[in-house]
Structure 1
Amino acid sequence: MNSNDCIQNLDDINWEKAWQKEVGPKRNQKKHWDKNTNPVHFEKIAVKDEFHEKLIPKLILDKNNTVIDLGSGEGAVTSLVAEKVAKVTALDSSEMMLELLRQRCEHDSIDNIDILEMEIEDANVKSVGRYDVVLSSRSLMGIHDIKEVILNMNEIANKYVFLVVFGRNNWLLEKKFFDSIGKKYPDFAPYDYLFNLLISLGIYPNIENFDLVGNRKYDDIEDAFIRMKWKSGKLTEEEIGKIRPFLEENLHKNPEDGKLENINDKADLVLMWWKK
């Protein structure tokens, strides 16, 4: 097989179908944060870290911009964007996450964030309008109808679209846990599928790996248990019961700050963005 054959084979791949196969059945993804999650104060999970410090300078924003943050969560990114622009709409489907965002806005006296409870899949020009910038940070990886979502995002944006997605070396500590219980880690759809889907749609994104150095840090075992994702919908109650002993064995106290950590407990994040 020569190189031209390889290129032809890549062109023949239906990247939308490949993505959907990895994600699984439509709307069959259990939300990590839902109404049954134990309440937690926003400051527990809203830590601004190395990722936030590296992301904001990469976004093309000005003080007159309007921005919609799709999958805003509790607003760690949203609040930083709000400092740079005129207005941000934070859209998320989790009532709990949006309540944490309200706590943040009140705590930090932020008055230019509008909150919209909605599924990302339902966001389109008709339902949310148009914005100068569309941002989605780590919130697309479980979306089944990814092609429709991307096309809607592109239509909503007047100027730019920025996507942050997970790379292939993500959360290796959590993968180690799944190995320890003899299960395959239910990883995200590969980010390169999304990149190739964009190309097939005639969108040619810039792409960059954040190359993060720092790992997550926790106050205690319970803090780690809450803040890790775990994909608990894939675990039995017995397997969930093994998480805390696993953390006790694999998290170690940093002598400088007293926090618990593991060098493999960090994200692999990729930025894709394009100009309209």
Structure 2
Amino acid sequence: MTGSGLVVRELAVGHSRRRTLDGVTASAAPGELTLLLGPNGSGKSTMLRTLAGLLPVHAGSATLDGESLFAMPAPRRARRIGVVLTDRPDGGMLTGREVVALGRHPYTGPLGSLTADDRAEVDDALDAVGAAGLAGRRLHQLSDGERQRLLVARALAQRPALLLLDEPSAFLDVSARVSLLGTLRRLAHEQGLCVLLSTHDLELGLRLADAAWLIDTGGTVRTGTPDELAGSGAIGRVFDTDELRFDPATGTFRLTSRAGG
């Protein structure tokens, strides 16, 4: 396991004194889209919020390109890590451009004045997610999918090395989910970003991801490519039910004979 990208070693995360996950060792490489998968309540959001510096770490270490995340000063963390959480934003009367420009605040100083370079970064971020046409529209006028694109653009405007996303497609319809996850994969590959995201959209995520961290029912994290985790039966052991079985050959869930009557 190299020091490039995100590397966690013997990481323990949780709320208060209760550890949700313990002893996690895994890595996410630059230029790759890495999925964080697991059952409801397995600790995915807690893991992402801890890596983002929003929750205190219980034990272990996490580094980004060899630099400790947990010792990183907040202003530097704001430049190095972009975060998109599940919270649905109330942007009031902000325009799309103003929302994305918030991502430049780690660079603008106390007055928040944008330079020409800052405005160019905002334009680049809007273009990267295909949201230039949303720049002049108010946030409250936009669909959930359009808002999510702007929130990803806001994170990109920070010029981060690491992008953390917690269920970014949770409120989106099928076409918007496909479009957003496809965009994140493209951004990882084209911009060399290290992208780690949690999702319940298992089948789509496995088709698009380069790698995955899989939290099993016992709290152990297994890592590998989607094909490796599917072929080993690890995905099926976590997500199979009496009615549905994961088929590693097709990467889809199928009804069991019991479910079909």
Ranked by relative contact order (alpha carbons within 8 Å, sequence separation 6 or more), the top structure is 2
| Range of TM-score over shorter length | under 0.3
For normalisation by structure 1, the TM-score amounts to 0.27
For normalisation by structure 2, the TM-score amounts to 0.28
